[in-house]
Amino acid sequence: MTTVTRFAPSPTGMLHIGNIRTALHNWMLAQRAGGRFLLRIDDTDTARSREECVTAIRADLAWLGLTWDAEARQSARFDIYEREFAKLAAAGRVYRCYETAQELDLKRKVLLGRGLPPIYDRGALALSEADHAARAAAGEAPHWRFKLDHDEAITWVDGIRGPQHFDARTMSDPVIRRADGSWLYMLPSVIDDVDMGVTQILRGEDHVSNTATQVQMFTALGAAVPGFAHEALLTGTEGKLSKRLGSLGVGELREQGIEPEAIICLLARLGTSDPVDPALGVAELAAAFDLSRFGRAPARFDEAELARVNAAVLHRMPYERVAAHLPTRMGAEAWDAIRPNLHTVAEAADWWAVVTGPITAPAFDEETAAFLAQAAAVAGGLDWGADAWGALTGALKEATGRKGKALFLPLRQAITGMDHGPDMGALLPLIGRDAVVARLTAG
């Protein structure tokens, strides 16, 4: 059977880091199995869904390289929901209810006061057709619940959490349709998963109780239950579920200069015992993706760690990948020289400015200025080959007796205006002999 996974965001906001992780893991699950990855826009909530969010979701996934094999929108599938809903109604698996939110809240409080589970009492099942007709005549529209089978055991072997068992008698029959006819999440999601042939559903552990209900929905629709896996939710560095993680999105990460490869590198293994390895590409990460490697402990997301991974990824990134984002005339040789010092691609412009000049060197004392003048004379007479820095420092060491910091730091400061930076052996050929001599003379 072909593995089919899906990512089903609601377009009521932008993707955050938790959504991205879910999308990535579903994509990798499909990639490893040679299967299909579907994008489903869960926009049944027409009042809150926004088209600009749909556009942003597509753009964010594309930027990350998470291509999908097919796309569907729930708002275009209402006819299918009506058809399957009618089948469930005919089979007695959905029923009409009329309680208000206040009435339901009172019922829950009474049950809790008695030490009982605060679940729906199925009071609406006692209504006759005459009762329904009377309520309709009075202008009352029903909401609809899915009737759980109390005699059917709810079990599945979770891909991460292992064997799961739920007793339907301790669960409320879920509301699946509002009085205005609009749909809630639970039933349309199952209908879509059946219709689209989804075989694996990987999502956060906050959906475990939803899964228990949906297992019975699959069965009621006469469909095979897909494989389920629920991964631990992300936590922040403070060890708690963070509001920050619920708002940290692709747009903000992109503005910070975080590369998609770094996001994928970190999130691919977040929650597993496997080390984060910036040397691994997305194909290698997908090939090694294994649900059995995930633990049940909360997965800790650290923005500082993402920044470190981003730097490590940049240090390996080929020129062709970044060429369009580099300053004009900055070529592959310059990128190779500068990239070991970068945290983001944007910083390349600062180092390229050091190469092209002008630079501002610090004020030097008389002794250092004399040394730099001597260095300028030596540099002007050198055969400016591939190892100009080695030739320059070697000649100066022999002529002046300087070594170590006393030799190298004044030269770096005069030539670059900085105390640190890329390897000078790589920078000097980029700066050129004439510019180097001029900077040393100015020092």
- The pLDDT of 410-427, averaged and rounded, is 96
Q: Per-residue pLDDT for 3 more than 90?
A: yes
Q: What is the pLDDT of residue 367?
A: 95
Q: Which fold has domain 81-153+164-177?
A: Glutamyl-tRNA Synthetase; domain 3 (3.90.800)
On the question of pLDDT at 241 being above 70, the answer is: no
Write down the pLDDT at residue 386.
Answer: 76
Lowest average pLDDT, out of 131-135, 242-246, 428-432, goes to 242-246
Q: What is the pLDDT of residues 90-106, one digit of tens each?
A: 999 999 999 999 999 99
Handedness of CA 98, 10, 266, 247 (dihedral sign): negative
* pLDDT of res. 385: 78
The fold of the 357-442 domain, in CATH, is: Arc Repressor Mutant, subunit A (1.10.10)
> Does residue 364 contact residue 276 with C-beta atoms inside 8 Å?
no
pLDDT digits (tens, 9 = 90+) for 39-97: 999 999 988 999 999 999 999 999 999 999 999 999 999 999 999 999 999 999 999 99
Element (H, E) at 188: helix 186-195
Half-sphere exposure of 323 (CA within 13 A, CB side): 8
Location of each CATH 1.10.10.350 domain in the chain: 357-442
Pick from 99-103, 223-227, 236-240, 246-250: least confident: 236-240
Among 186, 185, 198, residue whose Cα is nearest residue 148: 186
Whole-number percent of the chain with pLDDT over 70: 99
Superfamily classification of domain 4-72+183-235: HUPs (3.40.50.620)
pLDDT-derived band at 371, boundaries 50, 70, 90: very high
Euclidean distance between the first and final Cα of the chain, in Å?
72
CATH 3.40.50.620 domain position(s) in the chain: 4-72+183-235
CATH 3.90.800.10 range(s) for the chain read: 81-153+164-177
Q: For residues 188 and 8, what is the distance between their CA atoms, to the nearest angstrom?
A: 12
Q: What is the mean pLDDT of residues 344-350?
A: 97
pTM, 2 dp: 0.91
Question: 28-32, 112-116, 382-386 — which is least confidently predicted?
Answer: 382-386
Verify cis geometry, omega within 30 degrees of 0, for the bond prior to 358.
Answer: yes
List Cα–Cα distances, 402 to 74, 398, 411, in angstroms. 74, 8, 12
pLDDT band (50, 70, 90) for residue 240: low
Q: What is the mean pLDDT of residues 414-420?
A: 96
Angle ∠(63,65,70) on CA atoms, nearest 5? 105
Confidence label for 277 from pLDDT (cuts 50, 70 and 90): very high
| Whether pLDDT at 237 is above 80 | no
Tokens (6 digits) for 31: 């990639």
pLDDT digits (tens, 9 = 90+) for 198-223: 999 999 999 999 999 999 999 999 99
Mean pLDDT, residues 110-123 taken together: 94
Backbone angles phi, psi at 170, to 5 degrees: -100, 10
On the question of pLDDT at 239 being above 70, the answer is no
d(CA 254, CA 260): 8
